[in-house]
Every structure is written in structure tokens, then in C-alpha cells.
Amino acid sequence: MLTLQAREHEAPLEQVNQIFWLSLLEQVQAEVRGQANSILDIGCHDGGLLVRLAALLHPKKLIGIEPETLLRERALFRLHKLASSVAVLPPERWNTIPPSSLDLVTCHEVLHLVDDLSGLFGQVSRTLSTHGTAFVVSGCHTENPIWPRWSAQLRTEGKVVVDRSPFDILRAGINAGLHASLRPLRRDGWVIYDPDLAKFTYSSVVELLEHHYRHKLLFRFVKLP
């Protein structure tokens, strides 16, 4: 069990996620080639991924979708000077985003918190421009052996989480009219992990490596003409 002192030093979300964000950004850079004027991040938390996307692609428009008011405010504070148009919206304001207006959508570890997956993909499909791409990362799915443990932990914390398979995610995108593909997010590179400070733990190094290199999936959804 963690001591109180250790808990106080739990790695913040941004520190834990940045190794995954780096892989996502590499993939975005390889495929988008600097042509993303309008970027939206679903479940943007306090804007860490959008800050990095802005530095990489210099978009004119940045949008975050985030239900938590405090996180929206923190994201807006971090982002407001990084593009000529910046908005951080609650999910109920998806409809205010014009159709076919986004070049790039990202979403990192949010789908397990989303009840209406087909509604979400309907909005992604509606707002993506032709040839626009959504990159969606999920390790929180039912094919990942750690998911039963992690989902129980999230439920204990009072979060409402949904059990979904990778095929459920693929199907939701395809049914919304998007061209879908997937791969593991990471295939190599260092894994940084402190077993005494981690909030979400692994029972072995094999489980840790399998999560990083096998079960954490990157889905690509493209809007074709």
C-alpha cells in the first residue's frame, strides 16, 4: 500500500501520458504533414495535448471538448495565445461546431468514459472535413487483460466507465461513415514506470510491456469523399 507521502507525489496525468502523446504526435506528423488548420481534442483535460499539437502544427483554430468546468478553464488559460481562434467546450456544445470544419481530431483515453459512442462518432464524422482524420487512442478496452482491474479501480473512485472491445470502437467509426484502421500506438522505446508511485499499476513487467506495445491501440478514422 502507498504511504501518504508517496500518494502526495503521485505522477500527474500529463507526466504519465506524455510518452503516449509523443507516439501519437509522431503519427500525426507523419500523416498530416503540417496541413491541419483546425484541430479538436476530445477529452482535452487541461489542454496538455493541444499545447503540443499547436507547437507542432501551428493551426489557426484549436478546440477542446471537456465536461469538467475547472479543467476547461485551465485549458483555455494555457491555450488562448496559441491560435487565433481557441475554444474549450463542454460535450453538449458539439453541435455548435460547424460541419466539415475540422482537419484533425485527437482523442486520448476518453472513450471508456463516453456513454454514447455512436453519438460521439456521429459528431466526429459530421465535423471532419473531407480527408480529415481522427486519431483515437484506447488502452481501456476489454481485450486488455489489465482492464478488469483498472475499471474496478475507476468505479471505486466513483467514475462511470463503459466496457468496450476494440471492435466496438471500430464499428462505431465505420457506422458513422468513416474509413477505419488500427495499430498498436507504440512498438518500441523506453517505458518509464515507478511501481511505488503509479496510480494505475501492473502486476509484472510483462504486463507493463504488453500494455505499452500491444494493448494500447491507435485507431485512425478518415473521412473519405
With CB under 6 A as the contact rule, the residue among 17, 23, 38, 151 that binds ligand SAM is 17
With CB under 6 A as the contact rule, the residue among 114, 136, 178, 180 that binds ligand SAM is 114
> DSSP letters of 122-187?
HHHHHHEEEEEEEEEEE--STTSTTHHHHHHHHHHTT-------HHHHHHHHHHTT-EEEEEES-S
Residue 188 CA to residue 186 CA, distance in Å, equals 6
Number of residues lying near ligand SAM (CB under 6 A): 17
Q: Which is nearer to ligand SAM, 91 or 122 (CB)?
A: 91
Q: Indicate the burial class of 206 (C-beta count within 10 angstroms; 0-12, 13-18, 19 or more).
A: exposed
Q: Output the smallest distance, CB 225 to ligand SAM, in A.
A: 28
Q: Which is nearer to ligand SAM, 91 or 184 (CB)?
A: 91
Q: Using CB under 6 A, which residues numbered 23 to 52 contact ligand SAM?
A: 42-43, 45, 49
With CB under 6 A as the contact rule, the residue among 2, 31, 82, 91 that binds ligand SAM is 91
Q: How many CA atoms lie within 13 A of 48 on its CB side?
A: 13
Does residue 191 touch ligand SAM according to CB under 6 A?
A: no
Q: Output the smallest distance, CB 91 to ligand SAM, in A.
A: 4
Does residue 148 touch ligand SAM according to CB under 6 A?
A: no
Neighbours of 157 (CB within 10 A): 9
Backbone φ and ψ of 205, nearest 5°: -65, -35
Q: Which residues bind ligand SAM (CB under 6 A)?
A: 13, 17, 42-43, 45, 49, 65-68, 71, 91, 108-110, 113-114
